[in-house]
Amino acid sequence: MKPLGILFLKTLVAILLGLGVMTARAAEQPNIVLILADDLGFTDIAPYGSEISTPSLAALANEGIRFTNFHTAASCAPSRAMLLTGVDNHRAGVASIPEAIPPEQSGSASYQGVLGNNVVTVASLLEGAGYHTYMAGKWHLGKEKHQLPSRRGFERTVVMADTGADNWEQKPYIPIYKKANWFADGEEMELPEDFYSSRFLIDKTIEFIDSNRDDGQPFFAYVPFQAVHIPVQAPQEFIDRYRGVYDVGWEQLREDRLAKAVELGVVPEGVGMVNMSTTQDWDALSDARKRYEAKRMAVYGGMVEAMDFHIGRLIEYLKATGQYDNTLFIFTSDNGTEVSGPLNPEAARTRFLLRNQGYSTEYETLGLKGSFNSISPSFASASASPLAFYKFYAGEGGMRVPLIIAGQSVSGLTIPDKGKLNHALAYVTDITPTILSLAGVDAPGGRFGGRPVERMIGRNLMPLIEGDVERVYSEDDVIGYEVGGNAALFRGDYKIVINRGPVGDSAWHLYHIVNDPGETEDLAEAMPERMQIMMRAYEHYVVENEVLPVPPGYAQLSQGGINGLRDAYGKQLLVLLVSIMILVIFLVMARSIHRR
């Protein structure tokens, strides 16, 4: 045969072999559904001890594995950055939520509040490996066009780019936004008239999956719900199921959830609980206030159940189309329970402020369209039961959240202990390496797409899921964390933690978080050597990740308000000031001329 003919044959064989490998790989690669709840507390779903009915998540838990010692950041965007990249939030450019970064930190590349170009998302890596990549939900990692998920590896997207938004219509939920910023495939979009967030996001996810169903390629679907971020809103039929359930009050609910969590094995027996300073005395409330607070929480329960209902729709769709068996599900939350709801939404000032945004806080319509609802810090503490603190704080209530990984029939995955609990320490940066491992995709080294990128710090949880190892972090491995001055470091079964005001005491404490997840017994004095080792490790973490100190008096919530108002109205204010300056100069000159 002539050399040219041999070359042609070789090329043909290589192409066919390549195609064969790709086809085989596509057949083996599982579909992956990553579901992220927003501000969902540790015991807010039934598999973790909640009274809220979540049958879809319970079914996933029965078929998979529940992690009881899984931690995330205590704040939204940093968690999302770590979840999608496997890189520490500071290194990913999201040291804090963009809305709450003080001017003293905003000059640092780590404190931009948007996902840096020095990190690669799991979607980019999966897309490169032949996956369809879809996203429907909250992004909050940048809202300029080049920062949207359509530029970060997601093939089809419908996203809300802000911290949160109304669940019934395209409307901002706080005055720092002029509008709710929704985008479809990178372009601004208008929401449909019959919008309800959880239903809409699952509808879009199903639409995306269905559009490429028969092409043989696996998919990765990221579904970050708005539920149960404020405004807490739910369809009436879901709210009605929780009427009267919370009449027992927050103290009893916290006790009940602890008892159930112990019964399920989610936390060990004899776990202590602290009583948060922000928890009011339920018995001291008037009957009218009790009724109102119980309704607030009933809407919350309804919103969680509505989310579960729509997750169930996605599962049914996958089953009906024969895609369920080869789909891995990962369910978690971005941080602990939201705590910024007003103590009394019926107070005149709160009602005035909300009315200016077109919201009502009337009892009868609470949670419906046009209503602004939240849960108070007291019920937030019950929602995080039996843990201390909640969202924004580095206490377990802010950082420890549910994690369910399920996919019993996924090829290449064996879950010997399905339906069981796993108590090993795990962290949000572990999710991306775990997904990549299951998909057979390599994590990037120091470079990706012709540019240097950060290396992932997360660990692959597959050996843990498959029962090959007891833990993926050894007794001496450390995980550092800091957002907004609240910080922690995990080492073995221990954790050092500092929480700033207004709820924290700005002092470091040491806890054994396996025996004492409620963080009731400070071991700092009893174990000074361990404390010292962990403090040194935290100092190393600070240097390594370029963590900056927060300015004196910094408060995340109020900084968020100030920054938000500056972003929303800063230019208008500048226009006004310059105009006044011109008019004053004009007036002075005119008077001067007139006197002459």
Just list the catalytic residues.
Answer: 76, 140
Q: How far is the CB of 143 from another protein (least distance, A)?
A: 15
Among 13, 469, 575, 588, contact with another protein (rule: CB under 8 A): 575
Q: Which is nearer to another protein, 17 or 580 (CB)?
A: 580
Among 13, 14, 343, 583, contact with another protein (rule: CB under 8 A): 583
Show the DSSP H helices in 86-196 as ranges: 122-128
Residue 594 contacts another protein per CB under 8 A:
yes
Among 579, 584, 588, 595, contact with another protein (rule: CB under 8 A): 579
CA 389, 391, 393, 398 torsion-angle sign = positive
Q: Which of residues 162-181 bind another protein (CB under 8 A)?
A: none
* Cα–Cα distance, 596 to 593 (Å, whole number): 5
Q: Which of 92, 135, 324 is nearest to 225 (CA)?
A: 135
* Cα–Cα distance, 544 to 538 (Å, whole number): 10
Q: Which is nearer to another protein, 146 or 213 (CB)?
A: 146
Q: Which is nearer to another protein, 9 or 587 (CB)?
A: 587
Q: Which is nearer to another protein, 8 or 586 (CB)?
A: 586
The three-state secondary structure class of 407 is: coil
Residue 27 contacts another protein per CB under 8 A:
no
* Cα–Cα distance, 565 to 84 (Å, whole number): 29
Give the helix, strand, coil percentages of the chain, each rounded to 5. Answer: 40, 15, 45
Tokens standing for residue 56: 């879809």
Tokens standing for residue 82: 């770590």
Count of residues interacting with another protein (CB under 8 A): 13
Q: How far is the CB of 587 from another protein (least distance, A)?
A: 8
Q: Which is nearer to another protein, 12 or 582 (CB)?
A: 582
Q: Judge contact between 119 and 128, C-beta under 8 A.
A: no
Q: How far is the CB of 567 from another protein (least distance, A)?
A: 12
With a CB cutoff of 8 Å and minimum separation 6, the contacts of 119 are: 81, 85, 87, 91, 92, 93, 453, 454
Write each residue from 535 to 574 as x if it is in contact with another protein (CB under 8 A), else as -, in one continuous string.
------------------------------------xx-x
Q: How far is the CB of 584 from another protein (least distance, A)?
A: 11
Q: Which is nearer to another protein, 347 or 578 (CB)?
A: 578
Q: How far is the CB of 579 from another protein (least distance, A)?
A: 4
Residue 582 contacts another protein per CB under 8 A:
yes
Residue 588 contacts another protein per CB under 8 A:
no
Q: Which residue has the tokens 């400070």?
A: 522
Residue 2 contacts another protein per CB under 8 A:
no
Residue 578 contacts another protein per CB under 8 A:
yes
Q: How far is the CB of 160 from another protein (least distance, A)?
A: 22
Q: What is the DSSP letter of 91?
A: T
What is the secondary structure of 349-362 as a DSSP string? HHHHHHHHTT-B--
Q: Which of 406, 410, 434 is nearest to 323 (CA)?
A: 410
With a CB cutoff of 8 Å and minimum separation 6, the contacts of 5 are: none
Name the residues that contact another protein, by CB under 8 A.
Answer: 571-572, 574-576, 578-579, 582-583, 586, 590, 593-594
